[in-house]
Amino acid sequence: MSGEKQRYIQVEDRELRRLREQDSRLRSLQQDLPERLNAVQQQAQREFQQRLAPLEQRTQRQQQEISGLRTGIKDLETQTNLRLQNQRREFQQNIRESEYRQQQQLQQEVGRLESSMREGFTQQRREYLGLLNSQRQEYLNLFQQQDHKFTQLIAEERQARQQGQQILQQQINQVVENLEAESQRKQQLAVDYFADVDQVWKQIDRDYQHQRFAPGKLADLRRDLDLANSNIQAGVFEAAIATCQQTYLKLADLRLELEQKQQEWLFYYQASLTDLRSLITEVQSHRECEVEVGQGSDAETFKCEINYWTNGRLSEYENQLNQLETQLVEGEATLTTEQVKNIGENINQLQPILGDIIEQAKLSILGSQMRAEIADRIVETLENIGYTLVDDTYEGEDERNAFVAKVKNVAGDEVVTVISPESEFGANSVSINSFSQTLIDEKATRQNAEAIFNILNEAGVEGVGDIECKQQANSEYQDMNAVKTRLKKPSVQSPQSKPSVS
């Protein structure tokens, strides 16, 4: 006959707090994280300069094409191009200065980051996230600065255009007195205005990503130009000139808007991609960690694979980050600023998850060791009443699973103890299974179970509720070879839940 005694147990709060406070003794085995982060930063800076290069090429190309304009728009375009050229150069200079400050700051923080890595994961994360926040703030400050300067540029540009338009209008009004000559002059002026404004429209269509940053606006202005051309064909030259003038002003405003939005996009894209790649680098540096358990001369340090102890959660997290990187890289030519901002917010929300994953791995390791220690105490208790250890193992020889210990006495009676993890850290269920070919003394086995749980309670492992008694023991744990070869999915512990028993 056989029987089973089962009870839920949990480690007392004081011991759980002590175990949780061992964060300072969980460290990455990869000590080159600062150098790898520096490499990510340098690569990001090189890529940013590559993205800025087309802006300068665009300026040079537009400057060359201005010489072909026929009307007073040529002077306006020359002044506008000069102001934009100065703004872009200042923009690039500010970027270089920002990158230099970030590089200097990273170099200053390398020593502190290396020191924090030796102290432990929690301190390292604090230093690392502080460094990322500082770099993100640097980008934000630079963007705000450039946004303010661009606002000033737009105001100056509009004022200059108003003055230029007044001069152009005076030139239009100063036509020859002869009515026939005036008509010919207006026709030529209308044709030239249309040609110049049409060239500006084509420049914007060719050189700017207007559909991404101002969808539909350039197409609307094309319709205005088509109307001006129709007026020329119909001989309504004054209306055509007026339409061309208004269309040019709108095109000039649109070009400034596109310049500003492209620079804004560059800032957010650069910040998001750099943050994401830095986070991926940190994840890769924490695939393996070392955990120090105990204190002083009794301390024991051993390696652990984070992905193993979290049942693949680290890989899932890294895949999620890699998908975001793919989305950013493949969408560089199509993502809008709002989409990039949303990805950046998603990255910020994902930042703390690595800490949760590492915490889960640490608790899984400590929980596994705890189950083995509980089994040792139980076996010791049973040995005191005549039993001898036959074998012990983790189910499926997987340290994340239940720990099983089998003892036997001279009469051939067997007792198999199964310590199974519950969903929350510090909580386990202990099943004591008795197997015998003769009649089992129910009173004796219950007393033995109570003695075991009393010993556990004295060691800080508290029983919860009454002992559950079953007439039939769990026979699937009687054959230890079957226990070792059994495939079983490990349970997952929550790193943020409070210790309790369900």
Q: Name the burial class of residue 480, with classes exposed (0-12), middle (13-18) and buried (19+) by CB atoms within 10 angstroms of its CB.
A: middle
Residues 81 and 10 in one domain: no
Domain that holds residue 399: 2-16+362-485
Q: How would you classify residue 429: left for phi > 0, otherwise alpha for psi between -120 and 50, otherwise beta?
A: beta
**Range in 135-144, 247-256, 265-274, 486-495 with the lowest mean pLDDT:** 486-495
Whether residue 21 is contained in a domain is answered as no
Residues 209 and 269 in one domain: yes
Residues 150 and 200 in one domain: yes
Determine how β-strand 2-11 pairs with β-strand 427-435: antiparallel
What is the C-alpha separation between 45 and 482, in angstroms, rounded?
57
What pLDDT was estimated at residue 489? 72
What pLDDT was estimated at residue 98? 74
* Mean pLDDT value across residues 291-298: 67
Per-residue pLDDT of 89-131, as tens digits, reads 887 777 777 777 777 766 666 555 555 555 556 666 666 666 6
Quote the number of domains for the chain. 2
Per-residue pLDDT of 434-483, as tens digits, reads 887 765 556 666 666 666 666 666 655 554 444 455 557 778 888 999 99
Query: The dihedral of CA 324, 325, 327, 331: what is its sign?
Result: positive
Per-residue pLDDT of 335-388, as tens digits, reads 999 999 999 999 989 988 998 898 888 888 888 888 888 888 888 888 888 889
Per-residue pLDDT of 163-183, as tens digits, reads 656 555 655 555 434 445 677
More confident residue, 41 or 241: 241
Residue 226: pLDDT above 80?
A: yes
pLDDT band at 152 (very low <50, low <70, confident <90, very high): confident
Whether residue 328 is contained in a domain is answered as no
Residues 275 and 393 in one domain: no
Query: The dihedral of CA 121, 127, 130, 134: what is its sign?
Result: negative
Percentage of the chain lying above the pLDDT 70 cut: 70
* Mean pLDDT value across residues 194-215: 94
Per-residue pLDDT of 423-436, as tens digits, reads 777 677 888 888 87
Whether residue 73 is contained in a domain is answered as yes
The pTM score is 0.77
Residue ending a domain, choose from 260, 285, 310: 285
Whether residue 233 is contained in a domain is answered as yes
> Is the separation of the CB atoms in 23 and 121 below 8 Å?
yes
Residues 9 and 148 in one domain: no
What is the C-alpha separation between 364 and 314, in angstroms, rounded?
14
Query: What is the residue-averaged pLDDT of the chain?
Result: 78
* Mean pLDDT value across residues 489-502: 44
Whether residue 310 is contained in a domain is answered as no
